[in-house]
Chains A and B, each alone.
Chain A
């Protein structure tokens, strides 16, 4: 069965360190998204990609970067982790436009703590 996975599921890191969160999907979806979820804010979009070599900034992109070298993977990098980046991070993917509703399928999430 197709799925979307994230690793690690839990991560504790120190302020200033570079951290990379992995996202891998086997849906063969073109569109991939990274969100963070915090109490009181709901899901906020960090970065997204509509295909290989395409990346776009979301509403809270400062301090984060992504790269898309293949269809399956969209790793999220925190350049220099800050305590404000302590959050739960969700990766999602959706199919090509024209396949009906463009619902997004979410990975299980990564809980990141920056100390």
Chain B
């Protein structure tokens, strides 16, 4: 089975830094994805981690610790447009390309 947990909601102010955590317990692991989903829109790919450590992409960074079953998405210099749901998803590797999604973290950025 699989269990992927992330906080339901978070709030932050413009210009701040926010860290969204994701913990997972899965039978098999072949990478972890973060997606962003604005209200009424499709999820869009943000990042992929398969090795331990930090991956940086502009204002967004994603970290993975496989031994701890833990990842986080770090958003810097928050902007109003970053208000969205952030989805953590795990590739268990046992079935090609199938992802298991957490329920998402709704981030609200205040001015």
Contact = CB atoms under 8 A, between A and B. Distances in A.
Contacts of B42: 90, 106-109
Given A41-B103, A43-B87, A104 B96 contact: no
Contacts, number: 52
Nearest to A51: B96
A97 B103 contact: no
A103 interface: yes
Interface secondary structure of B, over-half rule? loop
Given A42-B87, A43-B87, A104 B102 contact: no
B51 to A, nearest CB: 11
A48 to B, nearest CB: 6
A50 interface: yes
20 contacts: A31-B96, A31-B97, A33-B97, A40-B103, A42-B101, A42-B102, A42-B103, A43-B43, A43-B87, A44-B101, A48-B97, A48-B98, A100-B48, A101-B50, A102-B31, A102-B91, A102-B97, A103-B48, A104-B99, A109-B41
